[in-house]
């Protein structure tokens, strides 16, 4: 059976930004953001990442995409995206996978609009167009440098400056996606052919990352664009100080420490255990207070850690949970390593600015004031939603 397949080219090398396709925007690697955008499109049957990098391949598999390893001769700076797509189609064919429609997604576009992508697939599958691509309207007056560097108009007359409302818009490619007939693409070897359709996307999603400045801008935009995501995770891992507590310690005259915790956090953890969601506390310090709280909550705790990242990796492997399916809740810079390897990096409201920048989700609660309960509620709500959606699909 022929499929609609999304293919995401993601080279390991990059001149402008080192390891660009693995850089995170809104707490998610760029290549994973493209995978998620394709997975949200119900019209797409399979998501494939074509890469020359084992690191990118590992991330792609963790985010549940298929992988085609690209040979070195089409992985350099001069190699075209078309060459990677053609190679991937040939490799998929060798695996017995027929591709009817090809959706070409670019990882350097961090805000791919899945609704618009779905529209593009439908436009091509219904044979209204042979190719459809993402674009935004522009009413800009364009110029270029002519002989001697003199400014020359491009597409308009210098002596005719109609008002915006009196002009027809032009359309600028965003580079986010191109959908096309796979057989025709293989015949012509280029992404544009036949009848071509424009799929308009929201302007705020049209950023394409080629420079560090654009990467920084995307990180600033992410909290505004990445809204209403269901926290679909299989395990929760948290720091202790500043998460379960308000990051203060009371020391009595005998040198004994005590901290303030939230009872609502305890109920949240209990609900997670009841739903069979593993919960772990990772703490850099060894403290009887942490042990006592973990025992009270009946959850696992690892303390005195010099390397929290290795401890998290080891625990996830032993538990059988993919890191992309883990939520890690932190508050300070010693949590950054863990936040960078999980699928759901989460920050308490009063976290360090670097942690807030690394987070995919920023909670409304501060540490010690119900942050763990808030995260538990988000997790359980998503699980209930997934179960309801599955039930609806099963009975329809």
| Per-residue pLDDT band at 76 (split at 50, 70, 90) | confident
User: Is residue 387 a contact partner of residue 373, using CB atoms and an 8 Å limit?
Assistant: no
| CA 348 – CA 368 distance, rounded (Å) | 9
- The secondary element (H helix, E strand) that includes residue 369 is none
| CA 108 – CA 89 distance, rounded (Å) | 21
pLDDT of residue 139: 80
Burial class (CB in 10 A: 0-12, 13-18, 19+), 351: buried
- The secondary element (H helix, E strand) that includes residue 249 is none
For 71, residues 6+ apart whose C-beta sits below 8 A from its C-beta are 52, 87
| Nearest Cα to Cα of residue 134 among 160, 115, 161, 154 | 115
In tens, the pLDDT along 96-137 reads 999 999 999 999 999 999 999 999 999 999 999 999 999 998
pLDDT of residue 388: 41
Name all domains of the chain by residue range, CATH numbers in brackets: 2-141+161-225 (3.90.550.10), 235-392 (3.40.50.1000)
Of 52-56, 332-336, 386-390, give the lowest mean pLDDT range: 386-390
| Per-residue pLDDT band at 28 (split at 50, 70, 90) | very high
Distances 348 to 225, 243, 294, 365, 367 between C-alpha atoms, Å: 20, 7, 19, 6, 6
In tens, the pLDDT along 306-362 reads 899 999 999 999 999 999 999 999 999 999 999 999 999 999 999 999 999 999 999
């Amino acid at each position: 059976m022929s499929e609609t397949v999304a293919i995401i080219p993601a080279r390991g090398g990059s001149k402008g930004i080192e390891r660009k396709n693995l850089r995170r925007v809104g707490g998610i690697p760029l290549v994973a953001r493209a995978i998620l955008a394709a997975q949200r499109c119900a019209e797409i049957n399979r998501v494939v990442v074509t890469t020359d990098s084992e690191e990118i391949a590992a991330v792609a598999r963790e985010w549940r995409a298929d992988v085609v390893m690209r040979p070195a001769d089409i992985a350099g700076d001069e190699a075209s995206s078309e060459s990677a797509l053609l190679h991937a189609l040939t490799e998929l064919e060798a695996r017995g996978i027929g591709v009817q429609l090809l959706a070409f997604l670019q990882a350097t576009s961090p805000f791919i609009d899945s609704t618009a992508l779905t529209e593009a697939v439908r436009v091509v599958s219904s044979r209204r167009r042979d190719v459809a691509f993402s674009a935004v309207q522009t009413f800009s007056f364009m110029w270029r440098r002519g002989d001697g560097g003199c400014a020359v108009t491009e597409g308009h007359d210098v002596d005719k400056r109609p008002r915006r409302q009196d002009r027809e818009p032009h359309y600028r490619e965003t580079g986010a996606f191109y959908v096309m007939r796979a057989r025709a693409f293989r015949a012509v070897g280029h992404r544009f052919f036949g009848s071509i359709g424009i799929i308009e996307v929201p302007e705020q999603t049209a950023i394409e990352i080629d420079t560090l400045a654009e990467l920084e801008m995307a990180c600033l935009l992410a909290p505004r664009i990445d809204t209403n995501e269901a926290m679909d995770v299989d395990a929760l891992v948290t720091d202790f100080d500043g998460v379960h507590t308000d990051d203060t310690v009371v020391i009595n005259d005998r040198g004994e420490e005590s901290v303030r915790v939230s009872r609502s956090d305890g109920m949240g953890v209990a609900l997670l255990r009841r739903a069979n969601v593993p919960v772990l506390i990772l703490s850099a310090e060894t403290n009887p207070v942490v042990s006592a709280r973990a025992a009270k909550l009946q959850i696992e705790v690892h303390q005195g850690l010099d390397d929290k990242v290795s401890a998290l990796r080891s625990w996830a492997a032993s538990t059988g949970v993919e890191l992309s399916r883990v939520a890690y809740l932190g508050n300070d810079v010693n949590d950054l390593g863990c936040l960078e390897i999980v699928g759901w990096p989460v920050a308490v409201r009063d976290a360090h600015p670097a942690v807030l920048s690394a987070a995919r989700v920023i909670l409304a609660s501060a540490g010690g004031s119900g942050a763990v309960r808030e995260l538990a509620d988000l997790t359980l709500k998503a699980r209930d939603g997934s179960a309801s959606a599955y039930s609806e699909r099963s009975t329809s």
